[in-house]
Amino acid sequence: MKKIIILSFIFLTSLCGYGQEAERLHARGVRQAKKESYTKAIALFTRAILADASLTEAYYNRGLAYSKIKRYENAIADYTKAISMRRQFIRAYNNRGADKIELKDYNGAVHDCSIAIELDTSYAMAWYNRGVARLKLRAYEKALIDFEKAIALNPAYIEARKNRNIAKERLKQIMAGE
């Protein structure tokens, strides 16, 4: 019985060590990403995940790094994993939506950004990204509403202002019969 207790203690102690190692690797990955060394960051996030597969932020941050090097499918897979681990992960929904725009999956982007908006109606970037997807879908009136909301939440949002003007111009062209 004493051997079982000792072995259990050693096993549990070793598990704690894996969590600490994963956190250390994750922190190093974040530092590499801040230096824009995305390939190194991805390798460190991957090692952190191998050390502790429950480290949600490692999946999310690896997704960000993949997105920076335009490996959108990989980024989407990581955001999806992070969302499966934390259902209310607003930034992961928004970023997955943004990467779906890059892959021309505009309906998927609208869906993901809509979930982010449902979870946090004050998240200007989700309104903006949904507006971009709707602009690509030629749903100009809906895009205009999304851009207006993004600007109301963040008056300094220059890209939202530019895209709002594009949506307005497209609506004018439609009304003029062009």
Q: In terms of DSSP H, where are the helices of 86-157? A: 90-102, 106-119, 124-136, 140-153
Tell me the backbone φ, ψ of residue 69, rounded to 5 degrees.
Answer: -100, 15
- Asked whether residue 11 carries a pLDDT value surpassing 80, the answer given is no
pLDDT in tens, 33-54: 999 999 999 999 999 999 999 9
| Mean pLDDT score across all residues of the chain | 91
41 burial via Cβ count (<10 Å: 0-12, 13-18, 19+): buried
Once rounded to an integer, what is the mean pLDDT over residues 13-22? 61
Indicate the pTM of the whole model.
Answer: 0.87
Tokens for 36, please give them: 């824009």
Domains and CATH numbers, the chain: 1-87 (1.25.40.10), 88-178 (1.25.40.10)
pLDDT in tens, 62-90: 999 999 999 999 999 999 999 999 999 99
Per-residue pLDDT at 132: 98
Per-residue pLDDT at 18: 55
Q: How many CA atoms lie within 13 A of 149 on its CB side?
A: 20
CB of 65 closer than 8 Å to CB of 38: yes
pLDDT class of 13 with cuts at 50, 70, 90: very low
pLDDT in tens, 129-154: 999 999 999 999 999 999 999 999 99
* Intra-chain end-to-end CA distance of the chain, in Å: 85
Give me the amino acid identity at 169. Answer: E
Per-residue pLDDT at 9: 37
pLDDT in tens, 85-130: 999 999 999 999 999 999 999 999 999 999 999 999 999 999 999 9
